[in-house]
Chain A
Amino acid sequence: MPRRNTTLLDKRSLDRTLRRMADEVLELNGGTDHLIIVGIQRRGVQLAERLAAIIKGTEGVDVPRGALDITLYRDDLQTVGPRPVVGPTHLPWELDGKCVVIVDDVLYTGRTVRAALDELADFGRPARIALAVLVDRGGRELPIHADIVGRRSDVPKPQRVDVLLEEVDGRDAVVITAEDDA
Chain B
Amino acid sequence: MNAPPSVAPLGKDLLGLASLSGDQIRLILDTAEPFKEISERAIKKVPTLRGMTVVNLFFEPSTRTRISFEFAEKRLSADTVNVASSGSSVSKGETLVDTARNLEAMRIDMVVVRHEASGAARFLAERIESNVINAGDGTHEHPTQGLLDILTLRDRLGDLRGRRICICGDVLHSRVARSNIFGLKTLGADVAVCGPRSLLPNAIDELGVTVFQRIEAAIEWADALNVLRLQLERMNAGFIPSLREYNRVFGVTSRRLAAAPRDVLILHPGPMNRGVEIDSDVADGEHSVILNQVTNGVAIRMAVLYLLAGGRPELAGAARRGGEA
Contacts and interface: CB of A to CB of B under 8 A. Distances in A.
Interface of A: 41-42, 69, 72-74, 76-90, 106-112, 118-119, 122-123, 139, 157, 182
A-side interface mostly: loop
A82 B45 contact: no
A122 B309 contact: no
Nearest to A104: B325
B126 interface: no
Interface stretch (B30-38, B83-91, B188-196, B254-262): B30-38
Interchain residue pairs A-B with the least CB separation, the first 6: A108-B325, A82-B310, A84-B3, A109-B325, A80-B319, A72-B46
Contacts of B158: none
B42 A69 contact: no
B34 A122 contact: no
A87 B315 contact: no
Nearest to B308: A82
A73 B9 CA distance: 21
B48 A122 contact: no
A122 B42 CA distance: 8
A150 to B, nearest CB: 16
B325 A85 contact: no
Contacts of A111: 325
Interface in B287-325: 306-307, 309-312, 315-316, 318-325
Contact of A87 (B34, B41, B310, B320): B34
Interface residues of B, number: 39
21 contacts: A69-B34, A73-B47, A77-B49, A77-B310, A79-B315, A80-B319, A81-B315, A82-B310, A84-B27, A84-B307, A85-B2, A86-B31, A86-B35, A107-B325, A108-B323, A111-B325, A112-B324, A123-B42, A157-B323, A182-B320, A182-B321
Interface string B27-62: 100110111011001110111110000000000000
B81 interface: no
Contacts of B27: 84-85
Contacts of A87: 1, 34
A178 to B, nearest CB: 14
Contacts, number: 100
B8 to A, nearest CB: 11
Contacts of A82: 31, 306-307, 309-311
B30 A77 contact: no
B7 interface: yes
B51 to A, nearest CB: 9
A106 B311 CA distance: 27
B41 A123 contact: yes
Contact of A77 (B35, B38, B48): B48
B26 to A, nearest CB: 9
Contacts of B47: 72-73, 118
A108 B325 CA distance: 5
B287 to A, nearest CB: 27
B310 A112 contact: no
Contacts of A81: 9, 310-312, 315-316, 318-319
A119 B41 CA distance: 11
Nearest to A113: B325
Given A87-B1, A108-B324, A77 B34 contact: no
B45 A79 contact: no
Contacts of A108: 323-325
